[in-house]
Chains A and B, each alone.
Chain A
Amino acid sequence: MTNTSPKHTEPLERTLYEQSVAGRRAITLPKADVPDAPLPDAQLRADNGLPELSESQIVRHYLRLSQMNFGVDSGFYPLGSCTMKHNPKINEQLARLPGFASIHPLQDAATVQGALEIMHGLQEALKEIGGFAAASLQPVAGAQGELTALLMIRACHADRGQAHRDRILVPDTAHGTNPASARMAGFLAVEIPSDARGNVDIDAVRAACDDRLAGIMLTNPNTLGLFEERIGDIVELVHAAGGFVYGDGANMNALTAVVRPGELGIDVMHFNLHKTFATPHGGGGPGSGPLGAGARLAEYLPGPVVEHDPAADPRYRFARPERSIGRMTAFHGNFGMLVRAFAYIRALGAAGLRTNAADAVLNANYLRGRLKSEYPVPFDRLCMHEFVSEGRPEGSSARAIDISKRLMDFGFHPPTNYFPLIVREALMIEPTETETKETLDAFAEAMLQIAAEARDAPEKLREAPHATPVSRLDEVKAARERIVTDRAARGSDGEIG
Chain B
Amino acid sequence: MVNRGMIESRHSETEHAEMIRTIGIASAEQLFADVPKPLRFPSLDLPEPLAEADLARELRGQARRNTPIEDRPCFLGAGSYRHFIPATVDYVLQRGEFYTAYTPYQPELSQGMLQAMFEYQSMICQLTGMEVSNASHYDGATSLAEAILLALDATGDARDRIVMSPAVHPHYREVATTYLQGTNAEILVPDDPAIAASGLLPFVDSSTAAVVVQNPNFFGLSEQIDGLAQVVHGLGALLIVVSDPIALGLFQPPGAYGADVVVADGQPLGLPPNFGGPSLGIFATRREHIRRLVGRVVGETADTEGRRGYVLTLATREQHIRRERATSNICTNSALGALAAAVYLATLGKPGLREVAELCFNKSHYAAKQISAIPKVKVNANAQGRDFFKEFVIELTRPARDVNAILLEDHEIIGGYDLGGSFPGHENQMLLAVTELNTRAEIDNLVHALAGVVS
Contact = CB atoms under 8 A, between A and B. Distances in A.
Given A286-B336, A470-B108, A183 B324 contact: yes
B303 interface: yes
B111 A68 contact: yes
A123 interface: no
A236 to B, nearest CB: 13
A43 B122 CA distance: 23
A273 B122 CA distance: 31
Given A329-B141, A346-B47, A485-B125, A114 B64 contact: yes
Interface string B14-53: 0110111011110010111111100111111111111010
B178 A328 contact: yes
Given A330-B141, A382-B34, A141 B99 contact: no
Among B70, B121, B276, the most chain A Cβ lie within 10 Å of the Cβ of: B276
A336 B46 contact: no
B253 A154 contact: no
Contact of B276 (A99, A331, A361, A475): A331
A361 to B, nearest CB: 5
A332 B313 CA distance: 32
B405 interface: yes
Interface string A57-99: 0110111111111111110010100101001001011101111
A140 B278 contact: yes
A47 B350 contact: yes
A490 B118 CA distance: 13
B330 A48 contact: no
Given A471-B303, A486-B119, A489-B122, A69 B274 contact: no
A50 B66 contact: no
Interface in A278-309: 280-287, 302
Interface in A172-192: 175-177, 179-187, 189
A40 to B, nearest CB: 5
Given A118-B62, A284-B333, A362 B28 contact: yes
A375 interface: no
Nearest to B79: A330
Given A105-B80, A108-B404, A347 B329 contact: no
Interface residues of B, number: 207
Interface in B65-99: 65-71, 74, 76, 78-80, 82, 84, 86, 88, 90-92, 94-99
Among A146, A255, A333, the most chain B Cβ lie within 10 Å of the Cβ of: A333
A92 B99 CA distance: 10
Interface in B414-440: 414, 417, 421, 436, 439-440
B115 A15 contact: yes
A101 B52 CA distance: 20
A131 B43 CA distance: 11
Given A72-B100, A104-B275, A472-B303, A358 B28 contact: yes
A226 B302 CA distance: 39
Nearest to B277: A334
Contact of A284 (B135, B251, B351): B135
A214 B21 CA distance: 45
Interface stretch (B189-197, B201-209, B352-360): B352-360
A161 interface: no
B334 A285 contact: yes
Interface string A1-38: 10111111101110111000000111101101111110
A43 B181 contact: no
Interface in A313-364: 325-337, 339, 343, 345-355, 358-359, 361-363
Nearest to A98: B68
A32 B362 contact: yes
Contacts of B18: 437
Contacts of B123: 16, 49-51, 489
A491 B119 CA distance: 14
Contact of A144 (B62, B142, B335, B417): B142
B158 interface: no
A114 B308 contact: no
Interface residues of A, number: 206
Contacts, number: 707
B277 A329 contact: yes
Contacts of B322: 176, 180
Contacts of B310: 473
A52 interface: yes
A176 B40 contact: no
Nearest to A272: B332
Contacts of A346: 47, 49-50, 55, 58-59
Contacts of A67: 97, 112
A72 B101 contact: yes
B186 interface: no
Given A141-B331, A151-B181, A470 B307 contact: yes
Contacts of A98: 63, 68, 70-71
Contact of B23 (A366, A479, A483, A489): A366
B197 to A, nearest CB: 13
Nearest to A489: B122
Interface in A356-407: 358-359, 361-363, 365-366, 368-370, 381-382, 384, 404-405
Contact of A475 (B74, B301, B319, B362): B301
B116 interface: yes
A99 B42 contact: no
B59 A97 contact: yes
B47 A34 contact: no
A227 B273 CA distance: 40
Contacts of B305: 5, 7-8, 471
Given A52-B351, A326-B174, A264 B308 contact: no
A482 B121 CA distance: 13
Interface string A91-126: 011101111111111111001111101100000010
Among A3, A53, A150, A350, the most chain B Cβ lie within 10 Å of the Cβ of: A350
Contacts of A310: none
Given A140-B139, A287-B332, A8 B97 contact: no
B125 A489 contact: yes
B177 interface: yes
B182 A154 contact: yes
A260 interface: yes
A382 B31 contact: yes
B46 A143 contact: no
Given A48-B249, A125-B46, A283 B359 contact: no
Interface in B293-308: 296-308
A153 B10 CA distance: 40
B110 interface: yes
A103 B296 CA distance: 30
Nearest to A88: B52
Nearest to B291: A482
Given A98-B71, A473-B303, A74 B96 contact: yes
B445 to A, nearest CB: 13
B272 A101 contact: yes
Contacts of A258: 32, 35, 40-41
A471 B172 CA distance: 43
B374 to A, nearest CB: 17
Contacts of A408: 106, 108-109
A359 B23 contact: no
Sorted nearest first, the 10 A-B pairs with minimum C-beta distance are A331-B276, A99-B63, A49-B126, A105-B276, A73-B96, A284-B335, A114-B65, A186-B182, A349-B49, A282-B336
26 contacts: A32-B362, A37-B365, A39-B358, A44-B250, A45-B252, A61-B346, A69-B95, A70-B106, A74-B97, A82-B102, A87-B99, A106-B417, A151-B181, A176-B318, A180-B326, A257-B44, A264-B36, A283-B336, A286-B335, A329-B141, A336-B274, A350-B46, A358-B8, A365-B19, A478-B313, A484-B299
Given A16-B119, A68-B112, A183-B324, 15 more contacts: A26-B88, A50-B127, A62-B91, A62-B343, A69-B104, A69-B110, A72-B100, A112-B66, A155-B181, A180-B319, A283-B101, A284-B135, A347-B52, A351-B49, A485-B121
